[in-house]
Structure 1
Amino acid sequence: MREITIEELAARISQKRAELGLSGKGDVQPNSGRRRTQSKRNLLRNIAELAARDGREPPFKANY
């Protein structure tokens, strides 16, 4: 097994991200929510409503 340094790994990751056209921290495509079950939609909606009631942002952005 070939060992690499953390710097080499970081360079490889940066190169791959550039090849894929990714930049920044939000590189993961958000889930569209199209195939979400109704119970999951309700759960996400309740989380968002509770956060709003407390004057907070939900811990994540959800499509429901």
Structure 2
Amino acid sequence: MKKRNIGIRRVYFYLIMYLTILLSAMNLFIFSLGDLRYLNVIHYQDNLIAKLAYWPVVLGTMAIVTLVIL
């Protein structure tokens, strides 16, 4: 293993987490806007799509990035 690649292997986790926090905050803000006609996907069953997709998307992203980096 080359030493110059070690730094990037540790950084991707933090970047994914920052992006996850940002997207979750954006989802919360849009969800709090109320029942607007073009936000039906977000308000469907009280934000069910985002709740069900959170962990599969986060863990899938980490798995894909890990496979690409390794």
Q: Tell me the TM-score normalised to structure 1 length.
A: 0.32
Over alpha carbons, which structure has the higher Rg? Answer: 1
Specify which structure has the bigger relative contact order, considering alpha-carbon pairs within 8 angstroms and separated by 6 or more residues.
Answer: 2
Bigger helix fraction: 2
Q: Tell me the TM-score normalised to structure 2 length.
A: 0.29
